[in-house]
A = this chain, B = another copy of it.
Amino acid sequence: MNVSVLKKLEKILGDRLSTSQSVLEQHGQDESYHTPYPPEAVAFVHSTKEVCEIVKICALHKIPIIPFGTGTSLEGHVAALHGGISIDLSQMNEVVEVNAADLDCRVQAGVTRQQLNHHLRNTGLFFPVDPGADASLGGMTATRASGTNAVRYGTMRENVLGLTLVLADGQIIHTGRRSRKSASGYDLTHLFCGSEGTLGIITEVQLRLYGIPDAISAAICSFPNLEAAVDTVIPIIQLGIPVARIELLDEVLMDAVNQYSNLDYPVQPTLFFEFHGTAQSVAEQAQMAGEIAAEHGGSGFSWTAQQEERNQLWQARHNAYYAAIALQPGTRGWPTDVCVPISRLSECILETKKDIETVGLRIPILGHVGDGNFHLIFNVPSESNTSLEQAKWVNHRMVMRALDMGGTCTGEHGIGYGKLQYMKKEHGNAISVMATIKQALDPNNLMNPGKVLPTDIYHAD
């Protein structure tokens, strides 16, 4: 990037434009194991208008633009593969408005989900989507995030009502309306939700909110094997029991959790449940789920509506990711995810488990099983290159298996540049339509280039 461009940007941003090595490095890497690519500069923006001005300069000088929220993505989404400027939206962190009567709110893209829920604490409302990390809501929108309670409340796809965006030419647009539904015009909100910054930069998000349920109950239950646990989930979903969370931890992960938190859960595949509703309804839901679990050999099903006991029951689940990483001290986690039709979930998990056993690694399985979505948590870099290669082999076979089952290569992490190679198999020639849209909206390929669309489908300049 030449000096005159930096000067122009500095004129807008002052000392909120950074080229310090540590800032660049921090912005070129997310929480994945993928090779980091630092940007050439980082712009800490304060407004949609600033983003617009920066994009116009970048458009003029053909400089790539990579949006950055909290850096908690998992497939290399923030890597500056072709150089350029990282636009850090974390200081755009204002909750613009909360409309309690309409159960919606508008936030700047840098507001995190925990910040929003803290802001809502006296309203009786909450925002349910919870991917684990305290990610920014702009980033969660851009990656179509979901998490533990998507089974009840949906993913970002179901909860984003509208967006403010800056397009590749610097144009600012607003998508969506405040009404609950609309049959007017093309659904641009959904087109941009999950586009990972490749079609435009999200600067504000209109979100759906929910009333905090009168009662919440939690339950856990151990199973003799994985199949029995997954087979418990299927009738619960089919019967329409409106379970709020239903999470699977396999025996490897339960063992890790016991070690990590000094607990003594049975080292068996375990389901964690949460039920939301009236006191009467959560009791009924827990009873129904408990009966189904018992029919499948589940043991020790116990539930409680007391907050302290609930927290205790769910403690194992909350610590699961850190417990998994602690299995191999000094490594970082590489969580990968697929999602399949629920009828194939058991088969997909069991076949994957066989592959894990084949390579002899100790890889925990964690699933948002109500959605047919599960994760493996690899540890990398591991003690040897061999085990990284083995992890890649397991991952590749799992993704191909999910695709063959009618599933997707990623239920909630997104493509970034880590899963590009699966796009053609997953989407067939629909990928050419994606490329046509990208070409139309970003003809110079400056918006997060090298992500979502494989380069042989869509070439960088």
Chain A residues engaging chain B, CB cutoff 8 angstroms? 99-104, 143-146, 150, 154-155, 157-158, 167, 171-175, 177-188, 190-191, 193-195, 199, 210-211, 213, 234, 237-240, 242, 278, 280-281, 284, 339-343, 371-373, 402, 405-415, 419, 422-423, 426-434, 436-441, 452
Contact = CB atoms under 8 A, between A and B. Distances in A.
A9 B99 CA distance: 55
A147 to B, nearest CB: 10
Nearest to A191: B191
The 4 closest A-B pairs by CB, nearest first: A190-B190, A440-B440, A178-B406, A182-B408
Nearest to A368: B181
Contact of A280 (B167, B174, B284): B284
Instruction: Identify the interface centre among A182, A193, A239, A341: most chain B CB within 10 Å of its CB.
Output: A182
Given A145-B183, A280-B284, A440-B440, A341 B178 contact: yes
A95 B182 CA distance: 28
Given A238-B211, A239-B211, A436-B441, A184 B342 contact: no
Given A186-B191, A187-B157, A190-B190, A340 B371 contact: no
Given A145-B183, A186-B452, A284-B280, A173 B407 contact: no
Given A177-B426, A191-B437, 7 more contacts: A146-B183, A155-B181, A172-B429, A185-B431, A186-B434, A191-B191, A436-B441
A276 to B, nearest CB: 9
A142 to B, nearest CB: 10
Contacts of A211: 238-240
A156 to B, nearest CB: 9
B410 A171 contact: no
A194 to B, nearest CB: 6
A184 B429 contact: no
Contacts of A438: 186
A179 B436 contact: no
B181 A371 contact: yes
A180 B423 contact: no
Instruction: Identify the interface centre among A187, A340, A432, A441: most chain B CB within 10 Å of its CB.
Output: A187
Instruction: Identify the interface centre among A408, A422, A441: most chain B CB within 10 Å of its CB.
Output: A408
A433 B181 contact: no
Contact of A190 (B103, B187, B240): B187
B437 A184 contact: no
A240 B210 contact: yes
A387 B407 CA distance: 55
14 contacts: A102-B343, A171-B429, A180-B371, A180-B373, A184-B409, A185-B194, A185-B430, A186-B194, A191-B437, A211-B238, A242-B242, A281-B284, A433-B441, A437-B441
Nearest to A143: B183
Given A101-B342, A171-B429, A194 B187 contact: yes
Contact of A372 (B180, B191, B340, B422): B180
A284 B452 CA distance: 47
